[in-house]
Amino acid sequence: MKKTITDLKDIIRLGGGMNLDATLFTVSELNDFAILAERSGAIINVKNTENLTVNNLKEIAKLGRGKVIFEF
């Protein structure tokens, strides 16, 4: 069953970590996930980051404050 963006945000908000494919989400959604992970303590791993700019990655990292791991 495919999860909605709201479902994923709720899971992260509750402290659930997850692996995310960057190609399936907008930069804004990834930023939101990072903020929620930082607040809840959840760890999110982001793969397939090739299409994100360095500035996108920096912003996501800044918002996540150590709760976001990128796979390169």
Q: How many domains does the chain have?
A: 1
Residue type at 60?
A: I
Containing domain of residue 28, as a range? 5-70
pLDDT of residue 1: 84
pLDDT of residue 26: 98
Let me know: does 63 contact 39? Beta carbons within 8 Å: no
All residues at 6 or more sequence positions from 36 whose CB lies less than 8 Å from its CB, including other chains = 9, 12, 13, 42
Reference 36, options 44, 45, 46; nearest CA is 44
Q: What is the pLDDT of residues 34-63, one digit of tens each?
A: 999 999 999 999 999 999 999 999 999 999
Q: Is the pLDDT of residue 4 over 90?
A: yes
Strand partners, 19: 45
Q: Across the chain, what does the average pLDDT equal?
A: 97
